[in-house]
Structure 1
Amino acid sequence: MGASPVPLSSVNEGQRVRIESLPLHPALQRRLEAMGIAPGVEVEVLRRGRPGGILHLACGLLEFMLRQEQAQEMDVSLLSRG
């Protein structure tokens, strides 16, 4: 019934998503997991940089940024707004 996962890099500003997979790079995986970002966690896209720029994301009180190429490697499921 749910939609297929999409790359985090394709998500619009203001959209909430559930993380399905982390980027392939082990050091980045460890860094994200240390911040509590792991499969199953919900995040919101606050802002998108210019095309090819960074994504500004929030998970609860934590705000962080990811490069477009890192976000491209992360699958997410879209959650309904509101």
Structure 2
Amino acid sequence: MSTVIPLRKLQVGQKARIQTVMAHGELGRRIRDMGLIPGAEVEVTGRAPLQDPVALRLTGFTLSLRNNEADYITVEVL
């Protein structure tokens, strides 16, 4: 059985598949433009000392995402 959680809850080293992106408007467009779309696999590679932002590894690149942006994304833990 798969576990669906907010992206913010993933720990360093965990891998997951994006289920939903609930952001709309400009923020939703920016998130999707970064490659964070349903079905994409991500891995948390690091966090800043105060836990924000989070570094995510997608296929071929790494990006940083703030927790307030990560709150709009749910993932299925792999």
Tell me the TM-score normalized by structure 2. Answer: 0.84
Moved more, 49-58 or 67-76: 49-58
State the 4+ residue runs in structure 1 displaced beyond 3 angstroms. none
| Alpha-carbon separation, structure 2, partners of 1:23 and 1:49 | 24
Q: How many residues align?
A: 78
Match of 1:21 in 2: 20
Residues 36 and 53 (structure 1), Cα distance of their counterparts in 2 relative to 1, 3 Å cut: closer
Structure (1/2) with the larger strand percentage = 2
Which secondary structure state, in structure 2, belongs to the residue aligned with residue 33 of structure 1?
helix
| Counterpart mapping for 1:26-41 below 5 A | 26-41=25-40
Match of 1:2 in 2: 2
CA RMSD of aligned residues (A): 1.6
Deviation at 1:27, TM superposition (A): 1.7
Gaps of 5+ in 1: none
Tell me whether 1:49 sits opposite 2:20 in the alignment: no
Match of 2:74 in 1: 75
Percent identical: 33
